[in-house]
Amino acid sequence: MGILDFLSGQFIDVIEWTDDTRDTMVFRFEREGHEIKYGAKLTVRESQAAVFVHEGQMADVFTPGLYMLETNNMPIMTNLQHWDHGFNSPFKSEVYFVSTNRFTDLKWGTKNPIMLRDPEFGPTRIRAFGTYTIKVADPALFMREIVGTDGEFTMDEISGQIRNIIVQEFSNAIAKAGIPVLDMAANTSEVGKLIAQAIDPVIAGYGLTLPELYIENISLPPAVEKALDDRTSRGIQGNLDDYMKYKAADAMAAGGGMTEGMGMGMGAAMGMQMGQQMGAAVAPSAGGQGAAVPPPPPVEHVWHIAENGQTKGPFSKADLGRMVSSGELKRETHVWTQGQDGWKRANDVAELAQLFTVMPPPPPPPA
């Protein structure tokens, strides 16, 4: 091997970077003991950018593609030392590869509670946490403002600063939005968009952008959560009286027709018993003992009439009485009410049969 072949082997022909760490944002191409020669190949893959730095100054930024490092395709670097001499006297430049893909599933959260003024609870504190996505938007600016001469810059080195910015903007966004604490859980998507929009101008000064921000949970102090549970319990207890009355009335209404006596008796007994228990518990008398509360009044049935293949109604019992007087309702007319087993003649229903006793029955046929 001749001396020229040996020297040629000392030069780097291909400049590239393949990343398998998934958290490296900037990687400096190792060039110790090597020099870039004229005509070397630079490979910049998708989701990458290559930044050339010469003698401490940023020279050029290359986007994805394959480049031959020659004078005619590097207009910015033509003024660099020895470049215009075709590497007759090779020079050394630092090449930084910047990852421009999205760094996902990054965690953020409030270390300390955030104070806010809620329209319902007044001054209160909340905590929040979630995830976000970060991306390098301007490689040159990112190199100047953040990386500097760091040979391997990872996401961990800047995640703390990004989290501080998110928490600060979260506090400002919550204060300006005026969303009640109880409604925040239903508006986390909107709040997340507000925070992302507020953060983007701040981190743009670092050459970064925030494509996504998610709020996974917003929590209240334990004391406030306990107060909410107590309020819910009081609301349930306040509706208990109405609920018990409804169940008693429903049980009474379920016993219509021929079986209504048993159903009404059971419903009335249940209603009376529950009424007495509730009265003894919540309505003490002047003598200090519970006073019995009467059961709710029985539910009046409403009736339907079948006539000529059509159904009419509903009619109250008073309506049916007037219809008997006018001759519209006869003993043979079929009637039905809720709980009755099928259609029956009015004269066969005990509750309606008495309506016909106020008028004499039809005269017997002539002898």
The closest alpha carbon to 102, from 240, 211, 12, belongs to 211
Whole-number Cα distances in Å, 148 to 102, 289, 341: 21, 85, 90
How far, in whole angstroms, is CA 80 from its chain's centroid? Answer: 56
251 and 213, same domain (yes or no): no
Higher pLDDT, 276 or 94: 94
140 and 202, same domain (yes or no): yes
Q: Which residue has the tokens 């020297």?
A: 7
The pLDDT > 90 percentage for the chain reads: 14
Does residue 136 belong to any structural domain of this protein?
Answer: yes
Over the stretch 19-28, which tens digit does the pLDDT of each residue have?
Answer: 888 889 999 8
Task: Please tell me the predicted confidence (pLDDT) of residue 261.
Answer: 44
117 and 195, same domain (yes or no): yes
pLDDT band of residue 259 (cuts 50, 70, 90) is very low
In DSSP notation, 182-201 reads HHHGGGHHHHHHHHHHHHHH
Range of the domain at 49: 11-99
Task: Please tell me the predicted confidence (pLDDT) of residue 11.
Answer: 47
116 and 212, same domain (yes or no): yes
310 and 258, same domain (yes or no): no
Between the ranges 37-46, 98-107, 349-358, where is the mean pLDDT highest? 98-107
The pLDDT > 70 percentage for the chain reads: 69
Does residue 254 belong to any structural domain of this protein?
Answer: yes
118 and 195, same domain (yes or no): yes
Contact 225, 208 (CB under 8 A): no
Least confident of 3-17, 116-130, 142-156: 3-17
Does residue 295 belong to any structural domain of this protein?
Answer: no
136 and 46, same domain (yes or no): no
pLDDT band of residue 48 (cuts 50, 70, 90) is very high
Q: Check which CATH number belongs to the domain holding 167 and give it.
A: 3.30.479.30
37 and 70, same domain (yes or no): yes
Contact 355, 321 (CB under 8 A): yes
pLDDT band of residue 93 (cuts 50, 70, 90) is confident
Torsion over CA: 57, 59, 61, 65 (sign): negative
pTM over 0.85: no
199 and 244, same domain (yes or no): no
Over the stretch 215-244, which tens digit does the pLDDT of each residue have?
Answer: 888 888 787 777 777 777 766 655 566 666
Higher pLDDT, 357 or 341: 341
How many domains is the chain built from? 4
Higher pLDDT, 170 or 34: 170
What backbone phi and psi angles, to 5 degrees, belong to 268?
-65, -40
The whole-angstrom separation of Cα 44 and Cα 46 is 7
Over the stretch 181-218, which tens digit does the pLDDT of each residue have?
Answer: 777 777 788 888 888 888 889 999 999 999 989 988 88
